[in-house]
Chains A and B, each alone.
Chain A
Amino acid sequence: MIEVPKTYEEINEKIRSGEVVVVTAEEMVEIVAELGPNGASQKVDVVTTGTFGPMCSSGAVINVGHSTPRMKITHAWLNDVPSECGLAAVDLYIGATEVAEGDPLNRSHPGRFNYGGAHVIEDLVAGKDVRLRATAYGTDCYPRRELETWLNIRDLNEAYMLNPRNAYQNYNVAVNKFAERDIYTYMGVVKKGLGSANYCSAGQLSPLLNDPYHRTVGIGSRIFIGGAQGFVYWQGTQHDPTGARNELGVPKGGSATLGTVGDLKQMDPRYVVGVSMLGYGVSLALGIGTAIPILDEELAAQTGVSDAQITAPVIDYSHNYGLNEGEPLGHVSYAELKSGSIELEGKTVPTTPLSSYVRAREIAEKLKGWVKAGQFPLVPPVQALPTPESSPGFKPLNYRPVAEEGGE
């Protein structure tokens, strides 16, 4: 069989005529195993992906509308969660990890962090009323100094998610090798004495692991976000495609990331869930998914990647991670992680995921329906994300002690 590359236009035409073949990245594993990449690329037109897990670097822009008299808000709280207002008069940005004012935080360790920005966002999406409290210094054009009111998403002018970093392509596995107690991290409770291995990726279903060089996802790409359709607006922060890869091109550790945007008003609270990480803080469990057009054999092979072919570095979070020291304790595949335990330093270590594979699968299935129904047209990226060749990589902080060296 010779390879017949497809174009976006051909695939969209098949969608219009109803002939399109769409499968999830999980189903694609078996198809590629059976037909080979070439055969699979002829049979399948689109592969859908999904992931659902805590994504801390998320938040929402809301415009609450102007009050009478007008007000240029300088401090604002949504359900007592401080909101960023260093923008125009009534534009607010609510960050997912912001914790409600008055929360005891980690003063009584491990803190519970029951409510924060992510919960505000979830409440908005769920159509619940949210209390706004705001203060201002007052100006000639914006005389009002205080405001307290209920808000509801239906009354807001704009309410959209604007997330600096989502959908990390691969991630660490956290273990606790050195601490004499369990540790409380953004990767969950990591049990002492290599008592647990905590991981957080959908593996073979994960968006960027199915298109490792992000050929089909870039600026302007349509995505599933929180139950709605949104877009990629930029590479995510800490996007670093320059690291080591396996023979399929799959990065062996954290790599590409996406900056994403989507309309809160279209979202579904099932895929936008405020979460509390014991002893760590608040985060937003968010659903993201992509639809990958199978343009050629290479993409068929890449979307056919299985959990056994994707590995993640095992990192000690009791010492090494916090201090930026040491080497990974090993590399394990997602197939091993998903078996319930891994072997590490002669020990059998139980594994615990933090991202929901059930919901990742649900997202990929939903996207399949959207693509088939012609509700999710596929377009090439307006501009590619930085590639291994063009990316400057990921730098640590250039620490310059202020006492010793003047600013430039």
Chain B
Amino acid sequence: MSESRIVLHFPKTLLDRPVISKAVQHYNLSFNILRADITQEQEGLMVLGLEGEQDDIDAAVEWMREQGVRVQPLEKDVVRDDERCTHCGACVVICPTDALAMDLQTREVAFDAAQCVACGLCVPVCPPRAMSIHF
């Protein structure tokens, strides 16, 4: 048994199709939705934990790709250039998790990499370009 975490981007056309349930049934996996959201490009964004045999996970990912889902492993590294961050707060309503959140007392925006699902939404939104994503 192995577990892997992936980020799925659904195009609009796939939003109401049961791609995930089909994939996990067919490949005998169990899954855990860590995060689901509709992004600013109006596409679906989902962070999924998949459990099962590694071969089955790979095959399921491959099958989802064929259906038109963009699949990324969650091993990407999102970093903030703290020198560049002005704590403006423009990212806090964009971030789908609490990875970027404002401390209401100090008014500083903290970046908590542990909560980041590497969706990349903050990267183009951050006005001074403090956020970057590395593959």
Contacts and interface: CB of A to CB of B under 8 A. Distances in A.
B107 A358 contact: yes
Interface in A188-224: 188-189, 191, 195-196, 198
A189 B107 contact: no
Contact of B104 (A52, A196, A340): A340
A352 B92 contact: yes
A350 interface: yes
A112 B108 CA distance: 25
Interface residues of B, number: 20
Interface residues of A, number: 36
B107 A357 contact: yes
Interface in B98-135: 102, 104, 106-108, 124-125, 127-129
Main secondary structure of the interface of B (DSSP, over half): loop
Given A340-B102, A359-B87, A285 B92 contact: no
Nearest to B124: A278
Given A52-B86, A191-B93, A359-B86, A276 B127 contact: yes
Contacts of B32: none
Interface in B20-59: 40, 42
A252 to B, nearest CB: 23
Given A285-B128, A350-B93, A352-B93, A189 B40 contact: yes
B90 A354 contact: yes
Nearest to A341: B93
Interface string B84-100: 00111110111000000
Interface string A338-363: 11100000000011111111110100
A114 B93 CA distance: 21
Contacts of A355: 88
B128 A353 contact: no
A288 B22 CA distance: 57
A294 interface: no
Given A188-B90, A352-B92, A358 B127 contact: no
B86 A356 contact: yes
Given A196-B93, A273-B128, A285-B86, A182 B104 contact: no
A195 B90 CA distance: 14
A278 B39 CA distance: 15
- Nearest first, the 3 closest Cβ-Cβ pairs linking A and B are A275-B127, A357-B107, A353-B89
A181 B39 CA distance: 10
